[in-house]
Structure 1
Amino acid sequence: MRSLILLVPLLTALAACGQSPSRYASPPVASGERISIGLSQLEIREVTLPAYAQSEEIWHETEEGGLESNTDVLWADTPARGVTMELTQHLAALSSARVAAEPWPFEELPQARLVVRLQDMVARKDGRFHLAGQYYVVRLSAGSDRSGTFDISAPIAPEGGAAAVAAARAAAVRDLARLIADRGF
């Protein structure tokens, strides 16, 4: 019995150390006014991310310019899937096209495929969430392929913590979808 009494505080202390991390989803943001993309069906490949951003951890830039994360503060979804789904939803809302992430779920094939490669996806020390990289629109039917670069940022609410970072990411991904809809088709 005495050993059980000694074990209870130890188990309580261990349980406190093993608390689940907090997860943050990018909140929904309005896509804005419609933009014609001249397609009726668009497939979006899963977004590729830099090595550091592939983990579920939310990364931020330090005062020294390094990148850090905290294993107790995570994205609610894997970052590649989350950003891909956000782009898909915004491009569907912005256009009248049928938009879906790969693998293409419909019988009739898409007219084009969107590939997005991020080289930067981080909360910077300047108080903004940054997305930078390239996009490629590959026509699977008549038309010319297009590509472009982007460097987008959205403000992070001061003192807002991880939830503010998630909200800034949502705004940046929406702005990326608008840029691609406007320039990529």
Structure 2
Amino acid sequence: MLRLTPLLFLVLAACGGNEARFLVDSAAPATVGQIGVRLGTLEVRDVSLPAYAEESQILIEDDTGALQPIKNAVWADDPVRSMTLSLADTIDRQSNATAAAEPWPLESDPHAAVHVRVSEMVARADGNFHLTGQFAISSYDRIVRERIERFDITVPLADTSPGRIADATGAATNRLAVEIMQSLSR
């Protein structure tokens, strides 16, 4: 039987933390009805995030340009998983395509896949949340034209609280989903 000394118990208890966990708000994008895309099924590949955005801590840029963690505030889910699932869910709900995150859950292969590579995902000192990078559409059977497109999304922050950063992250992710759907509609 393992016995914990009082000092070890205090160290382990301190590791538990009392940080607040924040969900990324996945409110529906500002579109009316569904966006018609030119395919029936779409796989959303795991989103590639910068190392600082993959961490559980919620970060904000300070006046010097350094990214600082917000005290006692962490993401409720893994950021890569959360963003990937949010994109897939939004595309599935807001388009005529069936969309799912990888690994593809159906026996038949998807008509296309979207690969998102984020180069910047940060709450800036200027009072805005920035999401930039590129997405690529791949289609092995050439159901749709393959392409790579850049995105540059800015969402104003109401304030720099972790809840507002989570809201802005969700809004930016939804805008990205709309850009992907609009690309697939051409």
CA contact (8 A) 1:110 1:140 kept: no
CA contact (8 A) 1:47 1:115 kept: yes
Taking structure 2 as the reference length, the TM-score comes to 0.86
1:128 corresponds to: 128
Query: Cα distance, 1:57 vs. partner?
Result: 0.9
**1:51-94: per-residue Cα shift (whole Å, max 9, x none)?**
11111111111101111114621111111111101101111112
The equivalences for 1:1-185 within 5 A come to 19-31=17-29, 32-33=31-32, 34-70=34-70, 72-142=72-142, 143-158=144-159, 161-185=161-185
2:3 corresponds to: none
Residue correspondences, number:
175
CA contact (8 A) 2:25 2:171 kept: no
Distance 1:137 1:42 in 2: 9
**1:125-147: per-residue Cα shift (whole Å, max 9, x none)?**
11111110010000122232011
Distance 1:103 1:19 in 2: 33
Taking structure 1 as the reference length, the TM-score comes to 0.86
CA contact (8 A) 2:35 2:95 kept: yes
> Alignment RMSD, CA only?
2.1
Distance 1:167 1:70 in 2: 15
Distance 1:15 1:46 in 2: 34
Rate the CA distance shift 1:77–1:65 in 2: closer, same or farther, 3 A. same
Between the two proteins, what is the percent identity of the paired residues? 38
**1:71-127: per-residue Cα shift (whole Å, max 9, x none)?**
621111111111101101111112111100000000111000100000111111111
Query: Cα distance, 1:16 vs. partner?
Result: 7.5
Which blocks of at least 5 consecutive residues in structure 2 are unaligned?
Answer: 1-5
* Residues 32-41 or 128-137, more deviating: 32-41
Distance 1:50 1:113 in 2: 21
Greater C-alpha radius of gyration: 1
CA contact (8 A) 1:113 1:140 kept: no
Which blocks of at least 5 consecutive residues in structure 1 are unaligned?
Answer: 1-6
Distance 2:92 2:134 in 1: 20
Distance 1:19 1:49 in 2: 25
Distance 1:58 1:15 in 2: 22
Query: Cα distance, 1:183 vs. partner?
Result: 2.1
